[in-house]
Amino acid sequence: FWWWERVDVPGGPAAPAVWLVAGPAVRVLFGHALRRFARWVEANAESPAPRR
């Protein structure tokens, strides 16, 4: 059934295949960014930057 006509997903008929690949990739990249941010916060915990 043509679910992309009822669900607002950018990309049209090709969207399911694109999101099937892009979804996990986005989650991996987002998780990597979160880990880097957490490490940066830990590194700056001893010498906190002045708040503005």
Taking only the tens place, the pLDDT of each residue in 9-50 is 666 677 777 778 888 888 999 999 999 999 998 888 876 666
Tokens for 32, please give them.
Answer: 């990597």
Q: Does 4 or 43 have the greater pLDDT score?
A: 43
* Total number of residues shown for the chain: 52
User: Would you state the pLDDT for residue 24?
Assistant: 86
How far apart are the C-alpha atoms of 4 and 14, rounded to whole Å?
9
Q: Does 13 or 6 have the greater pLDDT score?
A: 13
Report in angstroms the alpha-carbon separations of 51 from 47, 48: 12, 9
Tokens for 15, please give them.
Answer: 């969207």
